Each structure stands twice: as C-alpha cells, then as structure tokens.
C-alpha cells in the first residue's frame, strides 16, 4: 500500500483501495452523507457494495455519461447535490466525472464539501486545481481555484479493468503528452522535470499496447498520470495550446488531437532548437505517437475553415509562455501545412 501527501492532497494507491479505505475515510473526514458521481459504464454493483459497507447515513448516486460537463449539466448536478444535503462528494470515473465533481464544489465554495476523487483514467486531472466545462455556444472554458483540489485521491486500478482498450490508450497518450511537455517546459523546476521524465519513462515502457491491458499496465499508467499532473504545475506547451484551441471549437477528442499534433510540434520545435529534447528519447516518443495516428481527413476541413481562429486561441493560451521556444503565427501555420500535406 502507498499512502502519501502531495500538495496537501492525501493520495492512496493500492489494489482494491476503494473497498479498503472508504470506511476509514468516513471516520477521518467525519463524513455523514455522500453524493456520489459515477460514470454510468462502471460496475455499479461493486460500487454499491463498497458504499453499503462504509455505512454512511445516506448515499445519493448521480450517474454521468462520458460527455464533458456543460453549464446546464453543472447547474442540474449542483441542484441535486444541495437537495441531497450531503457533506461529501465522491467522484468515480474519468475526466468528465472529475470535472463535474470539481464544478459542484466550486458552486458550493462557501460551504465547501469534502471532495474524494477516484480516477479510472490516467490523464492526471484529479490532482490539478482546475476543471473544464462546455459553454452554451459549445466553446470550452477552464476554471482554476485551489478550492477544487480534492481532499483525497484514491487510485484503485481494479476499477479501470473494464475500461475499453481504445479509451485506455487515448488517456494514456494524454498522460504521456503531459509528461513530455512538463519535462521541457521553459518554467520547469528540477522536481517537476524529474517527475515528468519518470512518468514519461513509464509511458514508454507501456506504450504502444501490443498485448492485452492488465492490472500492472493500469497501475503504471495511473502513476504516470499523477507524475504528469505534477509536471503540469510548471506549464505545458504548444501540443496543448493548439489541441485545446481545436477541441474548444470542434467535437474532436483532445487526447486524440494530442496524438496527431505532437510529432509536428516536436519537429517544429527542434527546427528552432535541436537541444530542447536532449533528455528525452525522441525516437521512442515519436514511434509511440506514430503508432496511434489516425486518418484525419476531416482535419483539412476544420483547418481550412478555422485556421486563423485556432492560431489566435493557441497564442492566447496560458501555456503559450511555457513552451521551450517562442512560436509565431507562422510556426503554427507550418504545422497545419505539414499535417495537410500528410493527410
């Protein structure tokens, strides 16, 4: 069992940790009533069994789909939480569940509830101080506040055993991109860089997936996700600035966009400074991304229609300053042109 503090967050990493520790946390945090947000695809019988054994005064379940939280869904969930009179939110699932749980905490910041997050994917967003929601006009906005950082994170890889292989790989690639960009951030520090490189090595050990995904794979990738989250404290880079801009304006997956754009951003970066990735096994990283690149014919349509908007938003992104070398609008155009040549 591994239990430790990171950024004042209590982190528990253990096989069956959700089953083992939930009852202990009831006493430690003086929990009475819980409001549980869970991805609808998870094993509800197992979750019900664990919650029943913890013997809370009451437990309200709120099932969530894989879709990103919207202004409307956050308002609806926040209303359900207040009606439940719960003192603790438990979020069990991937990024959409994590964001929804944090958004409810943010909506109740005056009488802040306890927040326990149980991630079943590996992007590492559970440790961050922010969340993302979709506005009515379909664009996405990010909110940052230390109040939404969880009190406890339970990493239990057994909960992710039913996660589809394709979803597992996409979120693992997102974790790898966090580690890659954190390792070369212009504002990195030695601790963040070390965390990023360790996480990157775990990703390269486990990607691409050539066999069935087992418990050990999910354990390694959960650790890599947390390490990538630590690295994100020192900023990301232009893989994320451009993919955030595109994801904010389309229905394309952020994780899959990272896979497509990462090699092109790396090449453009190395054309300016070949030493940027000197501590990274560049060929191994590129081989992983190349293994997963999909056919993206629709990218040509999006680029033709929205290239200027994508570039403008990428330049305005907070991660713009932490990329290791300066990019101009023309550098982003070079990346788009290279992708269009290859599509």
Domains along the sequence of the chain with CATH: 2-160 (3.40.50.1970), 165-342 (1.20.1090.10)
Q: What is the pLDDT of residues 224-269, one digit of tens each?
A: 999 988 888 778 999 999 998 988 888 777 888 898 999 999 999 9
- Does residue 298 carry a pLDDT above 70? no
HSE-up (13 A, CA, CB side) for residue 280: 28
What is the rounded CA–CA span in Å between residue 319 and residue 314? Answer: 8
Contact, 225 vs 202, CB < 8 A? no
Contact, 218 vs 161, CB < 8 A? yes
pLDDT confidence of residue 66: 57
Q: Which tokens hold the place of 102?
A: 């944090």
Beta bridge partners of 12: 3, 154
Contact, 90 vs 58, CB < 8 A? no
What is the rounded CA–CA span in Å between residue 126 and residue 129? Answer: 8
Helix (H, G, I), strand (E, B) or coil at 117: strand
Mean pLDDT computed over every residue of the chain: 89
Query: What does the pLDDT average to over 150-175?
Result: 90
Q: What is the pLDDT of residues 50-63, one digit of tens each?
A: 888 888 888 888 87
Instruction: Give residue 295's pLDDT band: very low, low, confident or very high (50, 70, 90).
Output: low
Instruction: Give residue 65's pLDDT band: very low, low, confident or very high (50, 70, 90).
Output: low
pLDDT confidence of residue 1: 61
Q: Which tokens hold the place of 226?
A: 């947390």
According to DSSP, the β-strands at 9-13 and 58-64 are unpaired
- Does residue 2 carry a pLDDT above 90? no
Helix (H, G, I), strand (E, B) or coil at 293: coil
Helix (H, G, I), strand (E, B) or coil at 30: coil
Least confident piece of the model among 116-120, 209-213, 217-221, 251-255: 251-255
pLDDT confidence of residue 40: 73
pLDDT confidence of residue 62: 81
Helix (H, G, I), strand (E, B) or coil at 128: coil
According to DSSP, the β-strands at 9-13 and 2-6 are antiparallel
pLDDT confidence of residue 287: 95
Q: Which tokens hold the place of 116?
A: 């326990």
Query: What does the pLDDT average to over 305-313?
Result: 91
């Amino acid at each position: 069992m591994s239990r430790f503090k990171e950024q004042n967050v209590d982190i528990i990493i253990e096989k069956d940790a959700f089953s083992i520790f939930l009852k202990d946390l009831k006493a430690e945090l003086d929990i009475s009533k819980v409001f549980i947000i869970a991805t609808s695809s998870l094993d509800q019988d197992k979750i019900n069994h664990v919650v029943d054994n913890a013997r809370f005064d009451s437990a309200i379940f709120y099932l969530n789909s894989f879709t990103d939280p919207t202004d409307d869904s956050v308002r609806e969930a926040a209303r359900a939480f207040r009606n439940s009179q719960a003192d603790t939110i438990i979020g069990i699932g991937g990024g959409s569940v994590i964001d929804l749980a944090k958004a409810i905490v943010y909506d109740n910041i005056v009488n802040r509830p306890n927040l326990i997050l149980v991630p079943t994917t590996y992007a590492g967003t559970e440790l961050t101080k922010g969340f993302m929601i979709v506005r009515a006009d379909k664009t996405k906005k990010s909110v940052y506040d230390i109040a939404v950082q969880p009190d406890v994170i339970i990493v239990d890889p057994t909960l992710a055993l039913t996660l589809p292989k394709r979803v597992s790989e996409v979120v693992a690639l997102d974790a790898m991109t966090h580690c890659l960009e954190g390792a070369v951030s212009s504002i990195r520090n030695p601790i963040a860089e070390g965390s990023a490189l360790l996480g990157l090595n775990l990703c390269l050990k486990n990607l691409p997936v050539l066999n069935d995904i087992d418990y050990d794979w999910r354990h390694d990738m959960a650790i890599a996700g947390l390490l990538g989250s630590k690295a994100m404290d020192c900023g990301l880079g232009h893989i994320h600035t451009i993919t955030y801009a595109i994801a904010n304006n389309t229905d394309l997956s952020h994780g899959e966009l990272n896979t497509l754009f990462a090699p092109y951003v790396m090449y453009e970066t190395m054309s300016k400074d070949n030493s940027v990735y000197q501590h990274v096994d560049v060929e191994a990283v590129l081989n992983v991304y190349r293994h997963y690149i999909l056919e993206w014919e629709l990218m040509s349509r999006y680029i033709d229609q929205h290239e200027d908007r994508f570039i403008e938003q990428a330049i305005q992104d907070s991660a713009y300053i932490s990329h290791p070398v300066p990019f101009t609008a023309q550098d982003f155009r070079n990346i788009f042109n290279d992708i269009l040549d290859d599509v």
